Amino acid sequence: MAAAMIEEGDSVVYVRDGARGVVVRVEEDRFLIFWEDTFVSWEPVHLVEKIKK
């Protein structure tokens, strides 16, 4: 499951538009993300990918 691979504090990208953010909280099937434009939202696991450092 993708949620096991992404943890709080990880940098992520939204697959639909390439927006970048940081994971603030992880739940079973969604992430709370603080986006680079200072917007915060809950997103489903399948729409978020971890940015490899």
How much is the pLDDT for 1? 46
How much is the pLDDT for 14? 97
Q: Which residue has the tokens 């993300």?
A: 33
Query: pTM for this one?
Result: 0.86
How much is the pLDDT for 17? 96
Q: How far apart are CA 23 and CA 48, in angstroms?
A: 10
Q: How far apart are CA 48 and CA 50, in angstroms?
A: 7
Task: Determine phi and psi for 6, rounding to 5 degrees.
Answer: -105, 130
Query: Could you report the per-residue pLDDT of 1-53, keeping only the tens digit for each?
Result: 454 499 999 999 999 999 999 999 999 999 999 999 999 999 999 999 999 87
